[in-house]
Amino acid sequence: MDRDEPGYWVGSYTVNIFVTETAFAVVFVAGMFLTWPKVPWTALGRVCAAIAILIPILAFPYTKLLYLAIDLVFRPVDPDDLVSPSERTMVPPVGK
């Protein structure tokens, strides 16, 4: 589901990156804070790498929906958005 306009995927992608980076930062800082001064860097690195790989894949449908909601807040539905586009028919050249 989208508004079928250019830039929609870029917005959805951006929201996905923000969600992933936030999750990564929270886990990284919490992992360091909870285990300081003997931080298990290898384990923390593996967990953070798993987050960086899995969150974008798992969150993708939700970030698409979140971006659409953000878009609708800033640009509410216009009646023209609800009209199905009509296909143009072939018009014969003039004079034939």
**Whole-angstrom distance between the N-terminal and C-terminal Cα of the chain?**
43
Contact status, residue 44 vs residue 28, Cβ threshold 8 Å: yes
What would the two tokens of residue 32 be? 């360091």
AA letter at 55? I
| pLDDT digit string, tens, across residues 46-83 | 999 999 999 999 999 899 889 888 988 998 888 877 77
Q: Is the pLDDT of residue 5 over 60?
A: yes
| pLDDT score for 84 | 74
Sequence ranges of the domains in the chain: 8-77
Q: What is the pLDDT of residues 9-23, one digit of tens each?
A: 888 899 999 999 999
- Would you say 2 and 71 are in contact if contact means Cβ atoms under 8 Å apart? no
Sign of CA dihedral 39, 29, 14, 16: positive
- Per-residue pLDDT band for 39 (boundaries 50, 70, 90) equals very high
